[in-house]
Amino acid sequence: MTGTTVIRNASWVIAWDADSGRHTYLNDADVAFEGDRIISIGGTYEGEVEREIDGRGRFVSPGLVNIHSHPLSEPMNKGFLDELGSPRLYMSSLYEFMPLFRPDEEGTKACTEVALSELLLSGVTTLTDLSVPYDAWIDLLDRSGIRAVLAPMYRSARWFTKNGHVVEYEWDEDAGREAMAKAMSVIDEANAHPSGRLSGMVSPSQIDTCSADLIRDSFDEAQSRGIKFQIHAAQSVVEFHEITRRHGLTPLEWLDDLGVLKPGAIIGHGIFLNSHSSVHWPEADDFGLLRDSGAAVAHCPTVFQRRGIAMQSVGRYIRSGIPVGLGTDTYPHNMLEEMRNALYNSRLMSGNPFDLRTHHIFDAATVGGASILGRDDIGRLAKGAKADLFIADITHPAMRPLRDPIRSLVYVAAERAVRDVFVDGRQVVSDGKVEAFDLDDATARLEEAQRRAEDKFQKLDFADRTHLEASPLVYEAGT
| pLDDT value for 116 | 98
The residues with which 324 forms a beta bridge, in sequence order, are 297
Q: Do 102 and 96 form a contact (C-beta atoms < 8 A)?
A: no
Q: Do 200 and 228 form a contact (C-beta atoms < 8 A)?
A: no
- Give the tens place of pLDDT for each residue, 225-234: 999 999 999 9
Q: What DSSP line would sit under 69-89, residue for residue?
A: E-TTTGGGGTTTSTT---TTT
Rounded to an integer, what distance in angstroms lies between the CA atom of residue 36 and that of residue 34? 6
- Give the tens place of pLDDT for each residue, 5-62: 999 999 999 999 999 999 999 999 999 999 999 999 999 999 999 999 999 999 999 9
- Give the tens place of pLDDT for each residue, 126-138: 999 999 999 999 9
Q: Please determine, for residue 1, whether its predicted confidence score (pLDDT) is greater than 70.
A: no
Residue 13, amino acid:
V
Q: Please determine, for residue 80, whether its predicted confidence score (pLDDT) is greater than 90.
A: yes
How many CB atoms within 10 Å of residue 425?
20
Q: Please determine, for residue 326, whether its predicted confidence score (pLDDT) is greater than 80.
A: yes
Q: Please determine, for residue 371, whether its predicted confidence score (pLDDT) is greater than 80.
A: yes
Whole-Å CA distances, 333 to 67, 73, 242, 293: 12, 11, 30, 30
Whole-Å CA distances, 337 to 141, 152, 279, 384: 22, 26, 28, 29
Q: Do 385 and 34 form a contact (C-beta atoms < 8 A)?
A: no
Residue 313, amino acid:
S
Q: Please determine, for residue 478, whether its predicted confidence score (pLDDT) is greater than 90.
A: no
Residue 370, amino acid:
A
- Compute the average pLDDT of residues 173-194: 98
| pLDDT value for 170 | 97
- Compute the average pLDDT of residues 278-294: 96
- Give the tens place of pLDDT for each residue, 404-450: 999 999 999 999 999 999 999 999 999 999 999 999 999 999 999 99
In terms of pLDDT, which residue wins out, 478 or 209? 209
Q: Do 418 and 122 form a contact (C-beta atoms < 8 A)?
A: yes
- Compute the average pLDDT of residues 303-323: 96
Q: Do 103 and 44 form a contact (C-beta atoms < 8 A)?
A: no
- Compute the average pLDDT of residues 204-226: 98
Q: What percent of the chain has pLDDT over 70?
A: 99
Residue 229, amino acid:
F
Closest listed residue to residue 66, CA positions, set 333, 425, 306: 333
CA angle, 468 then 472 then 478, to 5°: 90
The three-state secondary structure class of 19 is: coil
The domain limits of the chain are 4-62+382-434, 64-372
| pLDDT value for 479 | 66
Q: Please determine, for residue 477, whether its predicted confidence score (pLDDT) is greater than 90.
A: no
Q: Please determine, for residue 173, whether its predicted confidence score (pLDDT) is greater than 70.
A: yes
pTM above 0.95, yes or no: yes
- Give the tens place of pLDDT for each residue, 237-258: 999 999 999 999 999 999 999 9
Which CATH number is correct for 4-62+382-434, 3.40.50.300, 3.40.30.10, 2.30.40.10, 3.90.1150.10? 2.30.40.10
CATH number of 64-372: 3.20.20.140
